Amino acid sequence: MKANKLREMTVQELNLKLTELKGELFNLRFQLATGQLENPMQVKKVRKDIARIQTILREKEIKQANA
C-alpha cells in the first residue's frame, strides 16, 4: 500500500486498516509455522504496511498537537 493513499485516509480508517493487517499477519505467521504459506514474502509486505500506517498515525498525532 502506498503512503500517499494512507495519508489521505482518516485516523479511524487507518486504525481499522491497522487492525485488519495485524489479523492478517497473525494468520500468515500461523500458516508459516504449519508450512502452508506459499509466499513467505507476504509476511514482510504486511509488516512493512503496518509500519507505514503506524508512522502516518504518529505524523498525524504530532501535526494535531502542534496545531
Q: Tell me the DSSP string of 16-32.
A: HHHHHHHHHHHHHHHHH
Q: Note whether 11 and 60 are within 8 A (CB).
A: yes
Does CATH place domain 3-66 in 3.30.1310.10? Answer: no
| Blockwise average pLDDT, block size 10, the chain, 67 residues | 92 97 97 94 97 97 93
Cell, residue 20: 485488519
Domain map (residue ranges) of the chain: 3-66
State residue 1's pLDDT score: 78
Alpha-carbon distance of 52 to 9, in angstroms, equals 13
> Which residue shows C-alpha cell 498525532?
61
State residue 67's pLDDT score: 86
State residue 16's pLDDT score: 98
Q: Note whether 25 and 50 are within 8 A (CB).
A: yes
Exposure of 32 in the CB half-sphere (CA atoms within 13 A): 12
